[in-house]
Amino acid sequence: MINNNNQNNTNEILTNEYLVKIKSLLDVSGFVGLNVSEVRYFAGLCKELNLNPFKKEIYAVPFKKADGSRSVQAIVGYETYLNRAYSSPRFYRYEKSFSGDGVNLSIHLKVFDIQGNLMWESDASIKEFAKMDMTKTKLYGMWAQIPKLMLEKCMVVRATRFVVPSVVGDLPYTNEEMLKVDGFGKDNKQTNYIETKNIETKLTNEQIAEGLKKYAK
C-alpha cells in the first residue's frame, strides 16, 4: 500500500491522461461511483510499485467493510512475486511436493539460489490459506477446484517474502491469499482485464478531454 510519506510525491507524477485511463479501466472492470481520491489511490499505487494494470500486473478489487462502506484494494498475481524474485540470484528455482488431499493437503517447498544452495525450506497445510467452513471440513471456490495449485501459489509467495524481502516486500497481497478474507471482492461485477488490455489506445481524444475536466489538477 502507499504510505502517507510518499503519497504527495507519487501524485506529482500522475498525469491527467493516466488518471483518465485508470478510471476507464476501473469503469469497465465493474467499479461504479469511484471518487477522485479512490482513482488516485490506485493509480498512485501502480506508479509507486512500477506495475502496469493494463498488462494485468496489478488489479483493483472492492473491499466491503464491516460498516457496509466500500474501499478500493489492490492485489497482484503470484506471477508478479515470482518474476521479481527470479531477478535475484538468491531465488533461482524451487521444488515442491504434496502430501494428503482435500482439507488435509500439505505442501513442502524448497528454494535454491543460483549456485544450488538451499535458501529456504518449509511446510504448510491448506488450512493455513484456504477459505473453509467453520468446521474446517470443506473447501470453497477455487480452493475446492484446484487445491494443489492454489496452495503452491500461496506457498511460493510466502517463500519470496522470506528469501528476497527487499525485492517483493512492498507488493500487495495476492488474490489467493485474500479469498479467505470476509468482504473481499464483494459488490463488484466480474473483473475481466482480458477485454481491457488495449484500453490505453482505445480512448478517444474526446474521452480524454472530458476526463481531464474532472481530474485536472
Query: pLDDT confidence of 82, banded at 50, 70, 90?
Result: very high
Q: Of 127, 121, 135, 137, nearest to 106 (Cα)? A: 127
Distance of CA 30 to the CA centre of its chain: 17
The torsion region of residue 145 among left (phi > 0), alpha (psi -120 to 50) and beta comes to: alpha
* Contact yes or no for 154/177 (Cβ under 8 A): yes
Does 126 have pLDDT greater than 90? yes
Phi, psi of 34 (to 5 degrees): -70, 140
H or E element: which one contains 109? strand 106-112
Q: What is the mean pLDDT of residues 101-125?
A: 96
Q: What is the mean pLDDT of residues 145-153?
A: 94
- End-to-end alpha carbon distance in the chain: 23
pLDDT in tens, 15-35: 888 888 888 888 777 666 677
CA neighbours closer than 13 Å in the CB half-sphere of residue 25? 28
pTM: 0.70
Length of the chain in residues, anyone? 217
Q: What is the DSSP letter of 76?
A: B
* Contact yes or no for 172/73 (Cβ under 8 A): yes
Q: How many other CB atoms are there within 10 angstroms of residue 31's CB atom? A: 22
Phi, psi of 192 (to 5 degrees): -130, 100
